[in-house]
Structure 1
Amino acid sequence: MTLLPGPPVGGHTLPLAHSLALHGDRTALVTAEGEVSYGELARRVADTARQLGPGRRLVLLPGANTVGALVVHLAALSAGHPVLLVPGDHPEAVAALTAAYDPDVVVHPGPGSGPESGAWRIEERRTGSAHDFHPDLALLLSTSGSTGSPKLVRLSYENLQANAESIADYLGIRDTDRAATTLPMHYCYGLSVVHSHLLRGAGLVVTELSVADACFWDLFRTARGTALAGVPYTFDLLDRVGFAEMELPHLRYVTQAGGRLAPERVSHYAELGKRRGWDLFVMYGQTEATARMAYLPPELATAHPGAIGVPVPGGSFALEAVDETVMEGEDVGELVYSGPNVMLGYAHTPDDLALGRTVDTLRTGDLARRTDEGLYEIVGRRSRFLKILGLRIDPQQVEALLEQRHGLSVLAAGDDDGLTLAVVGEPGWDERRIRRRVADEFGLPTRAIRVHLLPELPRLPTGKPDYQAVRALGRQDDTEVPPGGAGIDDLCALYARILDRTKVTPDSTFVGLGGDSLSYVEMSLHLEERLGHLPTSWHTTPISELRTPERKTRGRGRALETSVALRAVAIVCIVGSHARLFELRGGAHLLLAVAGFNFARFLLTPAGRRDRARNTGRSIVRIAVPCVVWTAFAMLIGTDYDLSNLLLLHNALFPQDTGPGIHLWFVEALVYILLATLALLALPAVDRAERRFPYGLPLALVLLGLLTRYELVGLPARSQITDAVTVFWLFALGWAAAKARTTPHRLLVTLAALATVPGFFPGEPRREAFVLIGFALLVWFPTLPSHHRVNQVAGLLAAASLSIYLTHWQIYPILDGVSEPLSLVSALLFGIAYAKGSDRLTRRLSALPRPAALHLGRSGSRRRRP
């Protein structure tokens, strides 16, 4: 059976996914609802592959142990589409990676998981692709513990095929085997179980049930299950459910990976397997090696329970000496792996999808030795060694001490300031006793040891230890943050305070928490102060991934967000020009383009249409309320405003007015534009069009806006219609700039600006040049070199730019006759103060969660790929 009419353009395919039909009528999938043969699976994969199309596109797939997810995964790999496999049970990670990588296709779960359940929905965000792909790129996976992080592992078709063949070889997988999906599909270990069994024509027992669920075992027995896979935590669950006494007549082998299983536990399960007629395979691997690098032959598990074994078929190990790991009487080095399953490299941004191989070997970071029997043993983790008060501490040895000698379940982590222990409480053991035992054994002062008694150890969704959460526990008692550094718990508290959230975890991201553009500016200032720099793509990076550089000279090498810099410069130019301190106009029109730019990035998220509409409405309120309040106050003190100004209708009713009433034209124009956009995107057809053509739709709106820019189609002269109509094209141009993902896209919007801005301000070339230069910076340079003091000032001005604009008309004239520089400074300072007060007011009026809002003075930006 041919799955596709022909090979994809510009890429390869995965043989094991492309050759499903060769296994004929054998059972491929078993679910609680029934079975699916390989022939039927191949047909479904082929149908879905045709929906994805022949041209290569980036497919974002939320991983799930369901038939629907598996079909889409295999379809994409069989058709040559790179797959971004994300945790299906982690919406925040899905949103963060969607924002960071701008996938061409997003797949949404369908109802049910059985063979007759609804197919998953494929959302085409564009007809082609916004990306350049290397021909070998097949799969993108998050590294262990980096859920939602933009750092991904790039895997090739050769990686996936070679790893599946290697695993199938040493496990001796037969076409009669049936393995249960006990691990998440988005986790490399769980995915390797799927691939290796499909390669051999074996069956998969597809389920999302836990081994702690009685229904799982009913299904496993009914399906005649032969294989189980687990991480250390899985074996804890097996103990709880009485696995040792279960009747599982068809079970052939059990595999363990995803972390170290204590040697005595390995011995216990190896002996249990011998008694019950199945083999235990202890395995070792990393996502960067497409899952597996080593395995311990079952016959050696009892005699060598602490070993990871031998390299997988096709792979090899080397030990590279590292000075700090020399141990007396032992030949220890960093374990370095080579083999066809070593990743292509990492991806940090969408640009990296075009890269080929950037690594040939994998430095595991684990310290190992080779025994006389030729087996490899892990003796420590190079990156986990701590140096506390001059003492070199291995957290893994601390865990082993408390576990082996005292029967305590422990995770140990920390930094150079101290050691943190997460311990499952046991009778007779309190924090003081545990702290004293570790202090005596390792020579640490008790003040450097933090102990937290918990009902259970923190774990990742994969069941692996969550060391980031342990480190966060260690910082809960820290009351001071050292200059240029911050703990995870401190950062969680910072996010909770600025974003007004009650539930912030180390996996949270700024985007996932619904950060708005005011909080973007404020958060960026605080983060730079805490971390000593502003990490790239910090807004889509989980808090646990934010790092303080080991060496960073404060005040040097800083960068400033271009949109923040433009808002700060523009508002200063607006006030300075009005105060006659200097003459540099065009700031308000540049800010309209910046407003469109930020609208596209903060409001046009993957959220549903109703959420978008609600957030846009909230954005409008946050512009209008401060304006109405200030206008009412200005009318009370005798300013020449009237009711039309108070209702934000002056520019619409009296567009030809040149008196004080026209002062608020910019705010009114922005409100009108956002209202029009809200109405437009509320239409289902337009909403679908924007998601499918995120760059094409704003370009079409630019063309529509140019009808008024050039007074075409019989419209009145520009001076006779509201400014919102005549400047809309600038807003749409900024919108298009935010959606420009490639160099040709950016070049096109730049040329559009060069063609349309000149002549808009007759006789004012400096004004036009100011707008053009600012727009070009916005398009081509996401950040600008800066200094941390400049960043602080620019952040304050940018965050308060709306308030400064509103209030400066009444403030600068007070001191204008005394000193023009003083009048400028006073207007800026007063506007900043008003911004703080108005923000408190709008927060109190808000009954809904804070939106991903955009507007002048509340603007910030998601960092855009250059």
Structure 2
Amino acid sequence: MTTLRGESATGIRPLDRSPLGDLARFGDAPALVADGLVLSHADLAARVHDRAGLLGRTRRLVLLECRNDIETVVTYLAALAGHHPVLLTGPACRRDDLVATYRPGVVATGNQLEELSEPAHDLHPDLAVLLSTSGSTGSPKLVRLSRDNLRSNATSIADYLRLTSDDRAATTLPLQYCYGLSVLNSHLLVGASVLLTQRSVVEEEFWAEFGDAGATSLAGVPHHFDLLDSSGFSDRDLPHLRTVTQAGGRLPAPTARRYAELGRERGFDLMMMYGQTEATARIAYLPPHLAAERPECIGIPIPGGSLRIDGDLGDGVGELVYDGDNVMLGYAERAADLALGRTVHELRTGDLARQHEDGLFEVVGRRSRFVKLFGLRVDLDRLEQLAADAGLELLALGTDDRLHLGVTSHRDAAWAREAAGRLGLPPHVVETHMLVFLPRTASGKPDRASLQRHVAAAPAVAPAAGDPVGEVSAARVRDLCAHLLGRPDAGETDSFVTLGGDSLSYVEVSLRLGQLLGNLPRDWATLSMQELAATTAAPRRRRWLRAVETPLVLRAAAIVLVIGTHANLLTVMGGAHVLLALVGYNLARFQLASPDQAGRRRSLLRAARNVAVPSALWIAGVGAVTGTYDVSTALLLNNLVGSDTWDLRWQFWFLEVVVWSLVGTAALVSVPALDRFERARPYAAALFLLASTAALRWGLVGLEAGPTERYALPVVLWCLALGWLAARARTTGARVVTSVAAVVTCYGFFGDPVREALVAAGVTVLVWLPRLHLPAVAVPALSAVAASSLFTYLTHWQVYPHLEVDHPLLATLASFAVGLLCWRAYGSVTAQFTRACRIDVRRQRVPVRRAQRTPTASRSA
């Protein structure tokens, strides 16, 4: 792979070969605004001219990885100006598949141009742009668009939106998505300008840029309107806003009416539009004065286009067919298709629609989105639309014998089952899939392909009990993790850590992965699905045994010792301190596995929140009912304001230590120097931390800690540091040092050799035996005990005292039963509020400034 080194032409010539016309004709009028820089049309034309010189005069296919920045726009326009067909992709595309299929001559990322091969394609003279049909680039099937397609569609859009050179749009959509690209094309065509930003509408910095730039229009798909609601859009002062456009799917009627009314109050129009990539972008629009009254309709054809209904399925419903100059040339599925001319003359949209007496068209479903179950014809789009109108989130898929519904909350699932029942479907054919969030493509549309994969994988993500482990593909590992973590968008390059896994979710995932792969490597949580698949172990002869990660076994065993000892069933102390070492072990494995400093901090604070929230809710609730605990206990502040003698407030010492240790670690990794040191020397850093916390303990209490001191935060931090050290011990020498450190730091702490030996032994086993082999029949119970350990510890104080004197076994079992029930209940409640919109705000507000005009000779491409 070599970098292109073409020669820039001297002088500026009109870009008369561009379908958008000569950009330079608009002179100093603003064209692009990005990162505080304003680039005029004349400056943009000059940059495009130079970039076109680098691409050369021989036509070649250019694959452009798009970002919403100036360099991407320059390269895109340069390809058009030079008559080079350009295949637009996103940063997350499967580029290797596209390169293998279409063999582009140039791969471009911004202003970086890399030559892959000599021009060898037979490219049709009309071919200008290649786009994925879904707005993402996971499929090699592409839409072939001509120069006339681009020009006619941009002209129509500028016409019905009444665009002028005073307009400025903000890029809320990716440029490789036809909707986002049409915003750019239509504005540049008339001499208007575009604010280029990578930010989301939920970020305050986006609105700062929007206001500073004086943006007049905002574009979004239905998903964006949910984000606008969450960002407080209705309360924002946006005096320049003139138009809010919407496409990419039907906007729920209540949302459309609300935004139409808001627009009337604030002085902007809501323009709802309908289109497909196969029509370059737009097919129809609903005049803004009808947005509140007729939101169910797609409206009327765009200027220069026509619509008709083909066939009659009853009630005036048939397939919607569009004709216009913006209809694509046809599809491409292989490199040879790039030589084809027009193979499509009218667009059969695949949508079912009707035309009302007033001329408005309404889409009522998809030809391919119907399933037949028990003789009943089920319209999946209609089911999704009913859910959206009810303010719910749902994706529907159908197979030969099942209706599959992807939902994000139990409320949505209950509504979906009830709606399916009203359709006449028996309950057993309706299957709901609880997801962290509904998957979406890069353009914000529902990603049904991901959900389809998720549904298909669910019944077979792991082998049946006793089945030998054979060759396992990366796709199968991905499907398993996607299913268990509720992440249908998981890719084969993702890992447990990058998918948001933590110490609470690793229990089931590690067990199921171990069942699928045989033995899990020590660092499995940070390995990609591809790397995990490559570790598949050979079939084991002893099928009645299962390999289980040692941390999971120790977690279950430690909580059993804690609860059993408290309930007078056992007298084996030290389990809580083993659990604390496990917290440090998992902290190093999961929370510190993020590749960047901000990710580490977020992961640590999220883990602290996952412990603090249920703890505070339970303690406050019990305190309110019984008066047992005060506010400081609920806020986990007993170490700061509590008594020096044991009382009921000390019951939650373990949870206090966990939460504040996680918060403190987040503060440490926020210091760049400390974060760099830990990454560069992970074992040395862990050893230094253990030495520091052990010195703190010895300095505060000496060799042996007192009755409450052994539970105080600064005194027990060494336990967490010891677990951290165990996770970083990768070599034999490091394991020996860690084992010795476990014995040394435990010695004398409790004044009870058995208790000290238990903690030291637990850490030593953790260091030397990454997994244990247990009877397969015991693994499900072990998993449940380990997974619910937090809630068992939290709630058992209110359970066992009623039974410990006469029935210690029953007291222990009841404590675990209540903990398990509370764990399940809390999971059900929190699932209703879980959404995956985690926005990372990295950049600061930058004031807008104008670029200085420079002589042509000084510009570089």
CA distance in 1, matches of 2:427, 2:479: 36
Unaligned 5+ runs, structure 2: 1-8, 463-470, 496-529, 535-861
SS at match of 1:398: helix
Aligned equivalent of 2:95:
94
2:398 pairs with 1:397: no
Aligned equivalent of 2:68:
65
Taking a change above 3 Å as real, the CA distance of residues 507 and 217 of structure 1, as seen in their structure-2 partners, is closer
CA distance in 1, matches of 2:489, 2:435: 20
CA contact (8 A) 1:399 1:412 kept: yes
Aligned equivalent of 2:138:
148
The CA deviation string for residues 281-308 of structure 1, in whole angstroms up to 9 with x for no partner, is 0000000000000000001111111110
Specify the code of the residue in structure 2 equivalent to 1:449: V
2:438 pairs with 1:438: no
2:20 pairs with 1:39: no
- Select which of 179, 190, 193 maps to 1:189: 179
The structural deviation recorded for 1:416 is: 2.1
SS at match of 1:383: coil
CA contact (8 A) 2:439 2:489 kept: no
SS at match of 1:356: coil
CA contact (8 A) 1:3 1:45 kept: no
2:388 pairs with 1:388: no
Aligned equivalent of 1:417:
401
Taking a change above 3 Å as real, the CA distance of residues 179 and 493 of structure 1, as seen in their structure-2 partners, is farther
CA contact (8 A) 1:48 1:71 kept: yes
SS at match of 2:94: helix
The CA deviation string for residues 167-217 of structure 1, in whole angstroms up to 9 with x for no partner, is 000000010011001100000000000000000100111111111110000
Aligned equivalent of 2:18:
14
CA contact (8 A) 1:412 1:470 kept: no
CA contact (8 A) 2:458 2:480 kept: no
CA contact (8 A) 1:369 1:379 kept: yes
Specify the code of the residue in structure 2 equivalent to 1:459: R
Aligned equivalent of 1:568:
none
The structural deviation recorded for 1:93 is: 1.6
1:69-468 to 2 correspondences below 5 Å: 69-88=72-91, 90=92, 92-109=93-110, 120-126=111-117, 128-144=118-134, 147-321=137-311, 326-327=313-314, 330-405=315-390, 407-425=391-409, 429=411, 431=413, 433-434=414-415, 436-468=417-449
CA contact (8 A) 2:461 2:477 kept: no
CA distance in 2, matches of 1:28, 1:7: 16
RMSD between aligned residues: 3.0
The structural deviation recorded for 1:479 is: 4.2
CA contact (8 A) 2:106 2:114 kept: yes
The structural deviation recorded for 1:248 is: 0.2
Aligned equivalent of 1:827:
none
The structural deviation recorded for 1:477 is: 3.8
The CA deviation string for residues 490-513 of structure 1, in whole angstroms up to 9 with x for no partner, is xx9844359999789978999x89
Specify the code of the residue in structure 2 equivalent to 1:68: E
Specify the code of the residue in structure 2 equivalent to 1:124: E
1:641-720 to 2 correspondences below 5 Å: none
The CA deviation string for residues 782-821 of structure 1, in whole angstroms up to 9 with x for no partner, is xxxxxxxxxxxxxxxxxxxxxxxxxxxxxxxxxxxxxxxx
CA contact (8 A) 1:7 1:79 kept: no
Specify the code of the residue in structure 2 equivalent to 1:98: V
Taking a change above 3 Å as real, the CA distance of residues 104 and 275 of structure 1, as seen in their structure-2 partners, is same
The CA deviation string for residues 86-138 of structure 1, in whole angstroms up to 9 with x for no partner, is 112x1x522221121111011134xxxxxxxxxx1111234x41100100000
CA distance in 1, matches of 2:405, 2:13: 56
Taking a change above 3 Å as real, the CA distance of residues 217 and 133 of structure 1, as seen in their structure-2 partners, is same
The CA deviation string for residues 546-596 of structure 1, in whole angstroms up to 9 with x for no partner, is xxxxxxxxxxxxxxxxxxxxxxxxxxxxxxxxxxxxxxxxxxxxxxxxxxx
CA contact (8 A) 2:354 2:364 kept: yes
**What is the total number of aligned residue pairs between the two structures?**
479
CA contact (8 A) 2:457 2:480 kept: no
Taking a change above 3 Å as real, the CA distance of residues 349 and 5 of structure 1, as seen in their structure-2 partners, is farther
CA contact (8 A) 1:14 1:160 kept: no
Aligned equivalent of 1:809:
none
Aligned equivalent of 2:769:
none
2:30 pairs with 1:27: yes
CA contact (8 A) 2:286 2:298 kept: yes
SS at match of 2:368: helix
Specify the code of the residue in structure 1 equivalent to 2:194: L
CA contact (8 A) 1:368 1:376 kept: yes
1:473-488 to 2 correspondences below 5 Å: 473-479=454-460
CA contact (8 A) 1:414 1:471 kept: no
Identity value in percent: 51
Unaligned 5+ runs, structure 1: 110-119, 482-491, 515-614, 620-866
1:513-592 to 2 correspondences below 5 Å: none
The structural deviation recorded for 1:436 is: 4.0
SS at match of 2:331: strand
CA contact (8 A) 1:134 1:353 kept: yes
CA contact (8 A) 2:372 2:378 kept: yes
CA contact (8 A) 1:14 1:161 kept: no
Taking a change above 3 Å as real, the CA distance of residues 129 and 501 of structure 1, as seen in their structure-2 partners, is farther
The structural deviation recorded for 1:162 is: 0.4
Taking a change above 3 Å as real, the CA distance of residues 187 and 3 of structure 1, as seen in their structure-2 partners, is farther
Specify the code of the residue in structure 2 equivalent to 1:108: T
SS at match of 2:101: helix
SS at match of 1:159: helix
Specify the code of the residue in structure 2 equivalent to 1:370: Q
Taking a change above 3 Å as real, the CA distance of residues 402 and 207 of structure 1, as seen in their structure-2 partners, is closer
Specify the code of the residue in structure 1 equivalent to 2:66: G
Taking a change above 3 Å as real, the CA distance of residues 468 and 125 of structure 1, as seen in their structure-2 partners, is closer
Aligned equivalent of 1:862:
none
The structural deviation recorded for 1:76 is: 0.6
Aligned equivalent of 1:707:
none
CA contact (8 A) 1:4 1:79 kept: no
Specify the code of the residue in structure 1 equivalent to 2:347: L
Of the structure 1 ranges 464-473 and 494-503, higher mean CA displacement relative to structure 2 is found in 494-503
The structural deviation recorded for 1:81 is: 0.5
CA contact (8 A) 1:309 1:376 kept: yes
The structural deviation recorded for 1:420 is: 1.2
CA distance in 2, matches of 1:436, 1:507: 24
Taking a change above 3 Å as real, the CA distance of residues 480 and 226 of structure 1, as seen in their structure-2 partners, is closer
CA distance in 2, matches of 1:453, 1:81: 46
CA distance in 2, matches of 1:507, 1:247: 36
CA distance in 1, matches of 2:373, 2:17: 50
CA contact (8 A) 2:174 2:443 kept: yes
CA distance in 2, matches of 1:352, 1:380: 31
1:715-734 to 2 correspondences below 5 Å: none
Taking a change above 3 Å as real, the CA distance of residues 443 and 503 of structure 1, as seen in their structure-2 partners, is closer
CA contact (8 A) 2:72 2:109 kept: no
The CA deviation string for residues 837-857 of structure 1, in whole angstroms up to 9 with x for no partner, is xxxxxxxxxxxxxxxxxxxxx
Aligned equivalent of 1:636:
none
CA distance in 2, matches of 1:446, 1:94: 43
Taking a change above 3 Å as real, the CA distance of residues 277 and 80 of structure 1, as seen in their structure-2 partners, is same
